[in-house]
């Protein structure tokens, strides 16, 4: 296959597709305080993402690495940089990039700064896109239009390569601007903790136990039902992986929950369930019935049914409207998304618990400690009727009695 880079031209983007080039690049990146990375992949019709390109940049240069031509062993020097503690890795909306790295190579980049999370913490809004981020921070406009391209084809066009390069080329400078603003606000550690969640998400994304616990959250399942659900999810994962198709093509989550609850043990009983794409033959039937039997025979001894989430009464529903408005005002005042102040699912609990002071609220663990430091006093004041809202020039503002 011919090379797709244009290194002979002025302004060419270095294209890395040999082990020697990977080693040379890793030597340059090793020990740097900050580098940026991104990935291009296909994931519409497969179990896991298929990597088509890895982009890396420092403050001076950008490189495009070809994971189609390079094996995991070839890429190991670069992967070592991705996990080196002395180098901060920067990416935008990092979750899927971490999934790509974890599925393909068994690693996640760390430490990492997600510029999307960082932007949210300095008041730029939720899930700000890369184009908007770079325009606001650096007054740089980048090209769009290739996000849905087939990144596995070869050769890649020069336009595709330049598009991919722009996704990382300006991130080191953007990260420095974000880091300065985060430092001024005292939110650097908070941003790094939020960014690290992408790695945790990647590790749990294909883990049957983690998937079962997430699916069981909010449902009052018994130990046997949960154990069967976990085995069914493991069956679905192995079936989807073996066929390299999306897990939903095998079965939707809701079907697995119904199966775990009903627990059919015969082919005839199983035939009553629709939406099972992984049991088209006798082997498939045998596997799924085997998973159900295993779950029944080995009830989970490490599972506790989730507490029923409290439903608001009519009176509380009216109070929640006021509380949410107040929280939105606090979020706006502190230039932070309201979801980082309090989980919406815990607002009823927050309303019912008559916290007399910030320490009592802290012990409840309802708010993140950093959110508590920002708005704890204000929140306790409104929960105890010492603070309200009034409209001034069309906008809500806090009112102290």
Instruction: Tell me the sheet residues that pair with 398.
Output: 389
Instruction: Tell me 207's DSSP state.
Output: -
Q: How far is CA 335 from CA 127, 373, 387, in A?
A: 14, 14, 20
- Give φ, ψ of 396 to 5 degrees: -75, 135
| Structure letter (DSSP) for residue 307 | P
pLDDT, residue 84, reads 98
216: closest CA among 320, 102, 317, 295? 295
**Do 308 and 273 meet the contact criterion of CB atoms below 8 Å apart?**
no
Domains 15-204 and 208-297 share a fold: no
Rounded distance between C-alpha atoms, residue 124 and residue 143, angstroms? 21
Partner residues linked to 53 by β-bridges = 40
DSSP 126-144: TT--HHHHHHHHH------
Between 308 and 207, the more confident residue is 207
Determine the Cα angle at 392 with ends 343 and 312, to 5°. Answer: 30
Quick: pLDDT tens for 311-344.
888 888 998 998 898 999 999 999 999 999 998 8
How many Å apart are CA 83 and CA 130, to the nearest integer?
24
Distance CA 105, CA 102 (A): 5
pLDDT of 57-102, one tens digit each?
999 999 999 999 999 999 999 999 999 999 999 999 999 999 999 9
Q: Which residues pair with 391 in a beta bridge?
A: 396
Q: Which residues pair with residue 192 across a beta bridge?
A: none
Architecture (CATH level 2) of domain 15-204: 2-Layer Sandwich (3.30)
Using 50, 70 and 90 to split pLDDT, how confident is the model at 400?
Answer: low
Per-residue pLDDT tens digits for 263-296: 999 999 998 888 887 676 778 899 999 999 999 9
| Helix ranges, 188-300 (H) | 188-204, 208-216, 223-243, 247-250, 253-262, 267-270, 282-297
| Cα–Cα distance, 269 to 284 (Å, whole number) | 15
Q: How far, in Å, CA of 124 to CA of 106, rounded?
A: 33
DSSP string, 76-112: HHHHHHHT-TTSEEEESS-HHHHHHHHHHHS----SE
pLDDT at 102: 96
Average pLDDT over residues 342-352: 87
Q: What is the pLDDT of residue 277?
A: 75
Residue 75 confidence (pLDDT): 98
Angstrom distance (rounded) from CA 39 to CA 91: 9
Give yes or no for residue 149 having a pLDDT over 50: yes
| CA 12 – CA 184 distance, rounded (Å) | 38
Position 7 scores a pLDDT of: 40
Q: How far apart are CA 382 and CA 392, in angstroms?
A: 18
> How far is residue 190's CA from residue 193's CA, in Å, rounded to a whole number?
5
Per the CB < 8 A criterion, the answer to whether 232 and 260 are in contact is yes
Q: Which of 158-172, 319-333, 348-362 has the highest mean pLDDT?
A: 158-172
pLDDT at residue 6 greater than cutoff 50: no
pLDDT over 70, % of the chain: 94
- pLDDT tens, position by position, 45-57: 999 999 999 999 9
pLDDT of 218 strictly over 90? no
Confidence of residue 144 (pLDDT cuts 50, 70, 90): confident
Tokens describing residue 276 = 């099972």
Query: Mean pLDDT, to the nearest integer, of 150-177?
Result: 95
Domain ranges for the chain:
15-204, 208-297, 314-400
Q: What is the mean pLDDT of the chain?
A: 90
387, pLDDT greater than 70:
yes
As a three-state string, the secondary structure of 355-394 is CCCHHHHHHHCCCCHHHHHHHHHHHHHHHCCCEEEEEECC
Q: What CA–CA distances, in Å, run from 291 to 204, 225, 264, 294, 297?
A: 21, 12, 11, 5, 10
Class for domain 208-297, per CATH?
Answer: mainly alpha
**pLDDT range class, residue 9, cuts 50, 70, 90:** very low
Contacts of 275 (CB under 8 A, 6+ apart): 251, 252, 255
- Tell me the residue length of the chain: 401
Please say if the pLDDT value at position 1 is more than 60: no
Reported as a pLDDT band with limits 50, 70 and 90, residue 306 is low
Over 60: is that where the pLDDT of 105 sits?
A: yes
pLDDT band at residue 3 using 50, 70 and 90 as cut-offs:
very low
């Amino acid at each position: 296959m011919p090379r797709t880079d244009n290194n002979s031209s002025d302004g060419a983007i270095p294209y890395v597709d040999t082990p020697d080039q990977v080693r040379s690049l890793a030597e340059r990146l090793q020990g740097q305080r900050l580098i940026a990375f991104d990935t291009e992949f296909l994931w519409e019709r497969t179990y896991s993402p298929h990597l088509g390109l890895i982009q890396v940049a420092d403050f001076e240069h950008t490189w495009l690495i070809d994971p189609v031509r390079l094996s995991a062993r070839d890429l190991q020097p670069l992967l070592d940089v991705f996990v080196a503690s002395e180098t901060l890795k920067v990416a935008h909306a990092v979750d899927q990039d971490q999934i790509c790295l974890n599925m393909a190579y068994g690693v996640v980049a760390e430490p990492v700064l997600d510029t999307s999370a960082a932007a949210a913490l300095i008041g730029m809004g939720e899930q700000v896109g890369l184009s908007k981020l770079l325009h606001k921070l650096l007054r740089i406009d980048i090209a769009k239009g290739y996000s849905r391209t087939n990144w596995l084809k070869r050769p890649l066009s020069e336009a595709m390569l330049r598009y991919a390069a722009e996704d990382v080329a300006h991130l080191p400078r953007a990260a420095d601007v974000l880091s300065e603003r985060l430092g001024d606000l005292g939110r650097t550690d908070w941003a790094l903790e939020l960014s690290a969640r992408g790695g945790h998400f990647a590790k749990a994304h294909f883990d049957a136990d983690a998937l079962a616990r997430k699916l069981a959250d909010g449902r009052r399942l018994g130990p046997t039902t949960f154990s069967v659900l976990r085995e069914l999810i493991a069956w679905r994962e192995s079936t989807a992986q073996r066929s390299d198709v999306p897990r939903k093509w095998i079965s939707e989550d809701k079907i697995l929950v119904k199966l775990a609850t009903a627990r059919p043990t015969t082919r005839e009983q199983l035939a009553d369930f629709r939406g099972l794409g992984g049991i088209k033959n006798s082997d498939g039937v045998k596997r799924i019935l085997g998973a159900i039997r295993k779950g029944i025979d080995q009830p989970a001894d490490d599972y506790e049914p989730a507490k029923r989430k409290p439903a608001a009464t009519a009176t509380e529903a009216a109070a929640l409207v006021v509380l949410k408005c107040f929280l939105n005002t606090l979020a706006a005042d502190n230039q932070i998304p309201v979801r980082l102040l309090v989980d919406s699912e815990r607002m009823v609990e927050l309303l019912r618990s008559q916290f007399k002071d910030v320490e009592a609220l802290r012990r409840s663990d309802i708010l993140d400690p950093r959110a508590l430091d920002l708005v704890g006093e204000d929140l306790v004041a409104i929960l105890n009727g010492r603070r309200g809202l009034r409209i001034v020039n069309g906008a809500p503002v806090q009112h102290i009695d």
